Copies of this chain bind each other. A is one copy, B any other.
Amino acid sequence: MPNISARSKAAPASPIRRLYPLARRAQQEGKKVYHLNIGQPDIPTPKAFLRGVKEADIDVLAYAPSPGLDVALRALESYYADWGIELREEHLLVTTGGSEAITFALNVTCDPGDRVIVPEPFYPNYLGYARLTNVEISPLTTRREEGFHLPPLSEMEQLIDGRTRAMLLSHPGNPTGVVYNEQELANLVELALRHNLFIIADEVYREFVYEGTHRSLLSYPEVADRVILVDSISKRLSACGARVGVLASRNAQLMEAAKKCATIRLSAPTFGQLGLAAFLADPNYRELIKGMIREYQHRRKVLCDALHEVPGLTFRRPEGAFYIMIGLPIADAEDFVSWMLTGYPGQETVMLAPGEGFYATPGEGKDEARIAYVLKEQDLLSAVSALKEGLKLYHVAQQAPTAA
């Protein structure tokens, strides 16, 4: 098959993809691998959500309306109202996960070759969405020692050129856990106004805030025409497999363009939308989410306390989401994780996501790794134990490589 070749516009293989085969082999050899590398929550999906799916009275499983099922849109209206965010049905579009919402947002803000500013480290799939829509990412580097908070306005401005159309940011942040403060949000708003940019605000971790409060970019009336909310039920309902997200904006022209994108793909999955509507109809839904957040808050404490006992690690306690970016006392995090899966002698080992995969700037993040605290307390403690022991032995192995 030599004469015809496919194009691959998607992002190149990230470190994490190279490590997966090693993790599988370790498991096949009987090792226990703690996966701190993925953001797949272990929290049970709420019963009300699953009941909404199981008890659905369906004769013909027809296409849902492209913008979303009425019951889902009405439920979302009241969910956002609870957050003090007034959105009417015409401002809302149900998408196939947050992924599709970001793809739509890039499609309706950018022409091919246009640029979007993204604070790095960022969620690696952003690069994939950008490549598939022929958009370029201009990375705005943030620093571990500053808790990954944004640089001053003047520094952000330097990234803007004639092709810059939007900013894309997750708030609270994946992989950093950063929650932007009032000053930072005001700077973003000012930047958007001054340079005529859209703000694509990925707020899928809205509830996952442990210090301070979360303020939505949608709460600034002066940028009502240029904020695009990207949302998802995946994490807050522990319903990643439902594939239900949201795109929201108060810009009517933009929503019209986004709804055209939605028409082309016909509809978002019906079952997930029914589950969402049933969950939000449960009078206890706020308490259910709060209970889940308390669990993550507890895990954050457990994890951070344990990490503090590991010599050489540098990190700041993240303010939100369920991730933490740590600095490792080694030069190459990917090499270390690879060794943890292939060279480390313990029966229990750990997989982290090497930091490099979260940066677009070459060379950044090589000594960093992301941890997702989506495991139970005891598993988190065992994982950190393995990490601690691994770091000790890795240094020895490095000094005497033939002995590894």
Contact = CB atoms under 8 A, between A and B. Distances in A.
B264 A99 contact: yes
How many copies the complex holds: the figure is: 2
A302 B355 CA distance: 64
A349 B212 CA distance: 60
B196 A97 contact: no
A9 interface: yes
Interface string A1-17: 10111111111000001
Given A128-B261, A243-B267, 7 more contacts: A6-B253, A42-B60, A54-B56, A107-B132, A125-B266, A132-B133, A243-B243
Contact of A242 (B7, B44, B112, B271): B271
A43 interface: yes
A198 interface: yes
Nearest to A46: B61
Interface stretch (A136-144, A202-210, A233-241): A233-241
A365 B265 CA distance: 24
Contacts of A64: 241
A61 B241 contact: yes
B4 A196 contact: yes
A225 interface: yes
A45 B63 contact: no
Contact of A61 (B10, B45, B103, B110): B45
A100 B391 CA distance: 43
Contacts of A270: 241-243
A107 B129 CA distance: 12
A40 B62 contact: yes
Nearest to A6: B254
A261 B196 contact: no
A196 B3 contact: yes
Contact of A107 (B7, B125, B264, B268): B7
B11 A260 contact: yes
Interface string A99-113: 110010001111110
B4 A225 contact: yes
A17 to B, nearest CB: 8
30 contacts: A1-B225, A4-B197, A4-B226, A7-B257, A8-B256, A9-B107, A10-B107, A10-B261, A43-B60, A44-B59, A45-B58, A49-B61, A50-B61, A53-B53, A53-B271, A60-B238, A61-B240, A61-B242, A62-B240, A96-B96, A96-B269, A99-B264, A99-B265, A112-B112, A125-B266, A128-B260, A128-B264, A242-B270, A243-B266, A243-B270
